[in-house]
């Protein structure tokens, strides 16, 4: 159910931030370089200015492989007198779904020569130890006055996905309860739509990431403009294909840095899926692609999932053969075809096979440690 507000979404978002600043709490704006965090930052500047709280705290965790326009924009943000910029990098593992041998790569990896990095961190950046993104905003890094709270401001909007809508409903408002580090999250533009974001940027002549202009120039529709990690899911393929045309030198550096990028850019999503040979059924395809010819870690996980699914199917359906294509029940891995698609890249974070443990960075590189719970992306 939608609730009608007595004001427009711009005034509502501004008032949410003004209340926090006026009460003397500490606010940190999470800035990814995308349009939503840009709007949150500009709203925070307005709210803090009215409360006499400038400059505002802004934090950005560098992902190394970002569109050139993104870090150019972040440089401009860091130069603004209204902003106290915390540009940090942590060397954290990031998913590369295009590399079956190893699903991780590492931001500004210090085990390789620095000239192999796609780019260097800016001079004003500093390295931190915390690899978990939830530990970016802490009271140690951003002290609060006695009796006051620490807020991390994020540009979450419920229009973007049902999961975000449910997350907002579960927290019963635009402010969450404190996390384990005592930090509350505020989502001032949760009720904005894409048009509201672009209208605010245009009306107030706010600076923004001009990678969006490049996307539009290359035919990207407005409802598909996104600044997001490029290697975490196959949804990054269209962005890589666009980048090959828009920033060819940058794209070549990315291909040199990470395995699988050039192949997936050339052949698309089909290169990240199991392929049946002539005369092969889906059971034979699964056994070949996910077990016999797969990297050991994928083969082991695929065998575990197959055993679990066959046992589950036997209990529910008796002697009926396990399906080749369509599951007999609502089951994302309830057929050989579904198993092959789900396990081709090993499902390292158990999105499909929820009973499997996560693949820890430690498995692939000694000393990288363990998630110790659900990975935070």
195 and 289 in a single domain? The answer is no
Position 221 in a domain: no
* Mean pLDDT within 345-353: 90
Query: Are the CB atoms for 105 and 86 separated by under 8 Å?
Result: no
State the average pLDDT for the chain: 91
Residue 283 has pLDDT above 60, yes or no: yes
Domain-ending residue, one of 171, 203, 235: 203
Instruction: Measure CA of the first residue to CA of the last residue in the chain; give whole Å.
Output: 29
190 and 303 in a single domain? The answer is no
Q: Which three-class secondary structure state does DSSP give residue 89? A: strand
30 and 157 in a single domain? The answer is yes
20 and 152 in a single domain? The answer is yes
Q: Which three-class secondary structure state does DSSP give residue 115? A: helix
197 and 292 in a single domain? The answer is no
45 and 182 in a single domain? The answer is yes
Q: Who's near 123: CB < 8 A, 6+ residues apart? A: none
Query: Are the CB atoms for 163 and 196 separated by under 8 Å?
Result: no
Instruction: Tally the residues of the chain.
Output: 377
* Mean pLDDT within 173-193: 92
Looking at residue 224, its pLDDT comes to: 85
Distance CA 344, CA 299 (A): 9
* pLDDT category of residue 292 using cuts at 50, 70 and 90: very high
Q: Which of 35, 88, 114, 63 is nearest to 230 (CA)?
A: 63
Domain-ending residue, one of 161, 181, 203: 203
Position 224 in a domain: no
Position 159 in a domain: yes
Residue 2 has pLDDT above 90, yes or no: no
Position 372 in a domain: no
Structure tokens at 57: 């705290």
339 and 197 in a single domain? The answer is no
199 and 290 in a single domain? The answer is no
Position 117 in a domain: yes
Position 371 in a domain: no
Position 244 in a domain: no
27 and 156 in a single domain? The answer is yes
| Lowest mean pLDDT across 81-95, 103-117, 361-375 | 361-375
185 and 305 in a single domain? The answer is no
Tokens 């780019």 map to which residue?
A: 119
Domain-ending residue, one of 203, 220, 243: 203
CATH code assigned at 74: 3.40.50.620
Q: Who's near 244: CB < 8 A, 6+ residues apart? A: 251, 265
Q: Which residues of 40-58 are buried (b: 16+ CB within 10 A; e: fewer)?
A: bbbbbbbbbeebebbebbb
Looking at residue 164, its pLDDT comes to: 46
Q: How far is CA 155 from CA 36, 37, 188, in A?
A: 5, 5, 7
Position 216 in a domain: no
49 and 166 in a single domain? The answer is yes
Domain membership of residue 351 as a residue range: 282-364
Query: What's the pLDDT tens digit per position in 158-168?
Result: 865 555 445 55
Query: Are the CB atoms for 138 and 2 separated by under 8 Å?
Result: no
Query: What's the pLDDT tens digit per position in 296-336?
Result: 999 999 999 999 999 999 999 999 999 999 988 888 899 99
Angle 166-172-178 (CA atoms, 0-180°, nearest 5)? 105
Domain count for the chain: 2
Report the percent of the chain where pLDDT is more than 90: 78
Residue 86 has pLDDT above 60, yes or no: yes
């Amino acid at each position: 159910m939608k609730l009608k507000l007595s004001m427009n979404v711009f005034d509502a978002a501004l008032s949410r931030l003004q209340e926090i600043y006026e009460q003397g709490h500490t606010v940190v704006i999470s800035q990814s370089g995308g349009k939503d965090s840009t709007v949150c930052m500009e709203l925070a500047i307005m709210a803090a200015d009215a409360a006499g709280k400038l400059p505002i705290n802004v934090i950005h965790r560098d992902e190394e492989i970002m569109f050139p326009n993104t870090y150019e924009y972040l440089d401009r943000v860091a130069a603004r007198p209204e902003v106290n910029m915390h540009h940090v990098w942590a060397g954290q593992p990031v998913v590369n779904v295009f590399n079956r041998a190893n699903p991780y790569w590492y931001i500004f990896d210090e085990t390789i020569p620095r000239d192999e990095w796609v780019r260097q961190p800016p001079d004003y950046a500093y390295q931190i130890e915390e690899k978990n993104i939830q530990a970016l905003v802490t009271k140690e890094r951003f002290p609060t006055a006695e009796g006051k709270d620490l807020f991390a401001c994020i540009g979450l909007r419920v229009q973007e996905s049902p999961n975000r809508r449910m997350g907002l409903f579960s927290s019963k408002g635009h402010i969450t309860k404190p996390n384990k580090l005592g930090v509350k999250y505020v989502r001032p533009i949760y009720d904005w739509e894409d048009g509201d974001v672009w209208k605010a940027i245009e009306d107030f002549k706010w600076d923004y990431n001009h990678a969006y202009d490049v996307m539009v120039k290359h035919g990207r529709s407005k409802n598909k403009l996104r600044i997001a990690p490029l290697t975490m899911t196959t949804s990054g393929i269209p962005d890589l294909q666009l980048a090959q045309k828009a920033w060819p030198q940058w794209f070549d550096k990315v291909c040199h840095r990470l395995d699988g990028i050039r192949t997936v850019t050339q052949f698309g999503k089909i290169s990240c899926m199991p392929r049946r040979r002539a005369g092969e059924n889906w059971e034979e395809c699964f056994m070949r692609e996910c077990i016999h010819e797969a990297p050991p870690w994928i083969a082991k996980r695929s065998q575990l999932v197959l055993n679990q699914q066959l046992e589950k199917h036997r209990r529910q359906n008796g002697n009926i053969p396990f399906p080749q294509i369509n599951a007999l029940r609502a089951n994302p891995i309830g057929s050989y075809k579904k198993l092959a698609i789900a396990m081709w890249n090993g499902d390292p974070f158990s999105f499909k096979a929820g009973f499997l443990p996560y693949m820890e960075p430690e498995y692939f590189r000694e000393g990288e440690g363990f998630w110790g719970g659900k990975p935070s992306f």
